[in-house]
Amino acid sequence: MKVSPRITAALLAGAALLTVTAAPSMAQQAPASEVEALRAQVQALMARIEKLEKAPAAAPAPVAGAAAGAPNKTDAPLVAADVFKAPQVVQSGTGKIKVTLSGQIGRAFEFADDGFDSDSMHVDNAQSSSRLRIAGAAKLDDNWTAGTDIEFETQSGSSRATGFGTDSGAFTVNERKVEFWVQHKTFGRIWVGQGDTATNVTSEVDLSGTATLISHTDVGSLFGGVNFRNKATRAAGPNINAAFNNFDGMHREDRVRYDTPTFGGGFTLSTSFIEGGATDFAGRYTGKIGDTEIAGAIAYADNDSRTGFDTQTNGSISIKLASGFNVTAAAGTRDLGARNSDFWYGKLGYINKLTSLGNSAFVVDYYTQEDFFAAGADSKAWSVGYVQTVDAFSADFYLSLRNHSYDTPAANFKDVLGVISGARVRF
């Protein structure tokens, strides 16, 4: 075993001290010549100690098997940096299901002018609201998989409800999904619980890269709480959310839903049986023809005895060229009993990765609807907008200008002009 020079020095110092201490008693019993010899030995030892103390410490021996140049384990930090990196997947309580936590924060600043007054609002973008999701999935065998989904919407001041003078600090928590599903490769998937009906988002198929934030068939989602004002009397009419509706299927409900496997190069069929007796049916397609992407959906819903409407038919289609130019269209009709209401929507856009940040998307759209809020009512909206994705931050920043108009045979209303700017950060 190799002894450290400093340990050797300490031992020698101890020996020297012992010798010097013992020297007086030894001098009483030994001749003078022997005492002189002992003193000489002590001086030699002290000189050696001084020499060892001045010598540089020897490098520690390398750890067996360590790579050349690797730091000694004793120099490693107590907590590795990797410990602070969030895991992509967490283990479930049962240890049998892979659990994924995800969500987003969607905040925006709005400014609106109703023709008489104006106001600014801090809102949660209802078109892509703040939310938290916990999803679970398990592979049962080569054919069967199963999963769960819990998703909550957590909004402070929804842009669908916030208007002039509204307290945008109102905080709400809403259930979006509380469901489980079972899927077979050959027979398709069954969903049970609160979640998307078969026809949900069938009016909102869109490849422009902007639909989940700004330009959208759901016009009432952004400035929904702002009222139209009567041109002659200044009286408040319906708010924007009440004057527009894109008949987007049956939304999210307590239901049992069935989806077929994908067939024919991109087609799927769906149906659901909804709490209260309503049923719906939808067909979807997602695919490519050469370098051109195509996505579309068509849907039919029977509301049965539930209030609101009797039946509705709706659909949408979006086409994106390899160059990034895209076109989107949507339409729908709803039987309201005493009358029918129809809407039409068109959008032109361009999306491409113009910078290293991520995709840049530009869009202009137009929406028109008749007889929805009242017989003879005429609702229109148009917008221009820009969305910039920042891949490194998993975020989307946006800016949009939208104009809304509403009139009836009995009254004319001022247009509502609104500007919205904000960001969505995904995790």
Identify which has the larger pLDDT, 96 or 132.
132
Phi, psi for residue 9 in degrees, rounded to 5:
-60, -40
Locus of tokens 């809407």: 343
The answer to whether residue 127 scores a pLDDT higher than 60 is yes
Residue-wise pLDDT tens digits, 374-425? 999 999 999 999 999 999 999 999 999 999 999 999 999 999 999 999 999 9
User: What is the Cα–Cα distance from 114 to 239, expressed in whole angstroms?
Assistant: 11
Comparing C-alpha atoms, which of 346, 356, 345, 419 is closest to residue 385?
A: 419
pLDDT digits (tens, 9 = 90+) for 31-54: 455 556 656 665 666 666 566 555
One-letter-per-residue 3-state SS of 370-399: ECCCCCCCEEEEEEEEEEEEEHHHCEEEEE
Q: Per residue in 178-233, pLDDT tens?
A: 999 999 999 999 999 999 999 999 999 999 999 999 999 999 999 999 999 999 99
For the chain, what is the mean pLDDT? 85
- Cα angle for residues 322, 327, 329 (degrees, 5° grid): 145
Give the separation between CA 387 and CA 393, rounded to whole angstroms: 14
Residue 24 has what DSSP assignment? H
Q: Can you give the pLDDT at residue 164?
A: 94
CA quadruple 74, 79, 81, 83: dihedral positive or negative? positive
User: In this predicted structure, what is the pLDDT of residue 16?
Assistant: 45
Greater confidence (46 vs 306) lies with 306
The whole-model pTM stands at 0.77
pLDDT category at 86 given cuts 50, 70, 90 is: very low
How much is the pLDDT for 9?
46
* Percent of the chain residues past pLDDT 90, beyond the cut: 73
SS (H, E, C) 409-425: CCCEECCEEEEEEEEEE
| pLDDT at residue 62, as a whole number | 45
β 98-113/227-229 pair status: unpaired
Contact 135, 100 (CB under 8 A): yes
pLDDT of residue 306: 84
Q: pLDDT value at position 12?
A: 45
Confidence of residue 426 (pLDDT cuts 50, 70, 90): very high
- pLDDT tens digits for 67-81? 333 334 333 333 333
| pLDDT, average across residues 321-342 | 97
Which long-range contacts does 321-328 make (Cβ < 8 Å, 24+ apart)?
Answer: 321/291, 321/292, 322/290, 322/291, 322/292, 323/352, 324/350, 324/351, 324/352, 325/349, 325/350, 326/207, 326/208, 326/350, 326/351, 328/205, 328/206, 328/207, 328/208, 328/211, 328/365
Please, is 404 exposed, middle or buried when counting C-beta atoms within 10 Å of its C-beta (0-12, 13-18, 19+)?
A: buried
Beta bridge partners of residue 415, listed in sequence order: none
